[in-house]
Copies of this chain bind each other. A is one copy, B any other.
Amino acid sequence: MKKFINKVEDVEEEMTEGLAKAYPDQLEKLDYGTIICRKNKKANDKVALVSGGGSGHEPAHAGFVGEGMLDAAVAGTVYTSPTPDAILEGIHAVKTDAGVLLVVKNYTGDVMNFELAEEMANDEGIKTVHVVSNDDVAVENSSFTVGRRGVAGTLFIHKCAGAKAEAGGTLEEVQAVAQKVIDNVRSMGAAIKPCTVPAAGKPGFELAEDEMEVGIGIHGEPGVHREKIKTANETADILLDKILADIDYTGHEVALMVNGSGATPLMELYIINNHVQDVLKSKGIKVYRTFVGNYMTSIDMAGFSLSLLRLDDELKTLLDAKADTPAWKEFGC
């Protein structure tokens, strides 16, 4: 295993420290575990957003903590859900009288642990609700999931629900925005090189020199099928076809995310975007905003995913609202 790390067992702690030290005015790492909180929290009447999941998806989730997005991100070890206790610590650190929204990706461990933390919080009198993202159209069920997996489309929840909270929305309103994003976002990915979990020391799967995995999950878990590697355009078409078949985007404006898996150079993501824009245009789907880069990664996997969010006026406004986080900045209108 070739990685710039120190001890395998220190990866999560050191990386969380390293993130907090890069943005000392904005982020704070709690002493308890690998939890990053927004430093200059807003008033007590703002709904607090808490998200998280296993580590290995950087910049998700802690890179999206800050004004206009998350208030806290709770990370487990690599590809492992944080414990209910850790999630509860995150809730404690940022809770407000307006309540707390938990944004959870649909994996069995995450859903169970976030729901348990939610129960504990409510027992303590902290008004807490959750939403579950499940944007991945690749598979109906998977090795870690009942139902669809939550993948890069989750970032649009952080952005839009975070903006709604920042604008003074009630817990019910913020949750409704999060659910609206979930109802309107679809994603799918493919990979050509596997990722290596530090503690495992070797790639989680193997692909032949001419193979790619279509519909891959963000933990390197199997997708729809393997096939001979195709061109960037052909691969994008496979993903787009499945996404566009799932809900009707025709005549709508969309936000497009071309998300890198961690080891995919921007060169390739731009080439993919070039084609996706052409295809969407030819289908009469207007791209309102485009996001190209590493948002929800899989450590050092070489792959990408496409996410399409169907927009209405409310989501457009929330998408454009100011955000000031390490990994997502918007100037606002």
* Residues of A near any B CB (own CB < 8 A): 2-6, 11, 14-19, 21-23, 55-56, 58-59, 63, 192-193, 209, 212, 229, 231-233, 235, 258, 262-275, 277, 290-292, 294, 297, 299-300, 302, 304, 324, 326, 329, 331
CB of B329 within 8 A of CB of A271, answer: no
26 CB-based A-B contacts, threshold 8 Å? A2-B192, A2-B212, A4-B232, A4-B269, A4-B271, A4-B304, A5-B231, A6-B231, A6-B233, A6-B275, A11-B271, A15-B271, A18-B273, A18-B274, A19-B270, A22-B270, A22-B277, A22-B291, A55-B267, A58-B265, A58-B267, A63-B266, A266-B294, A294-B294, A300-B302, A331-B331
Kindly name the residue among A22, A55, A232, A273 whose own CB sees the greatest number of chain B CB atoms within 10 A.
A22
Residue of B at shortest CB range from A258? Answer: B22
19 new A-B pairs (CB below 8 Å) besides A3-B232, A15-B274, A58-B270? A2-B193, A2-B209, A2-B212, A4-B192, A5-B231, A5-B268, A6-B271, A11-B267, A17-B270, A18-B269, A18-B270, A21-B273, A22-B273, A22-B292, A55-B267, A56-B267, A264-B300, A329-B331, A331-B331
Contacts of A272 in B (CB 8 A): 4, 18
Q: Which of B4, B55, B267 contacts A235 (CB 8 A)?
A: B4
Residue of B at shortest CB range from A262? Answer: B265
Contacts of A329 in B (CB 8 A): 329, 331
User: What is the distance, in angstroms, from A148's C-beta to the closest C-beta of chain B?
Assistant: 24
CB of A267 within 8 A of CB of B15, answer: yes
Task: Give the distance in Å from the alpha carbon of A331 to the alpha carbon of B323 in the complex.
Answer: 10
Contacts of A19 in B (CB 8 A): 270, 273, 292
Interface of A is mostly: mixed
Contacts of A326 in B (CB 8 A): 292
Task: Give the distance in Å from the alpha carbon of A299 to the alpha carbon of B264 in the complex.
Answer: 9
CB of B263 within 8 A of CB of A23, answer: no
User: What is the distance, in angstroms, from A109's C-beta to the closest C-beta of chain B?
Assistant: 20
Contacts of A271 in B (CB 8 A): 4-6, 11, 14-15, 18
Q: Which of B4, B229, B233, B265 contacts A300 (CB 8 A)?
A: B265
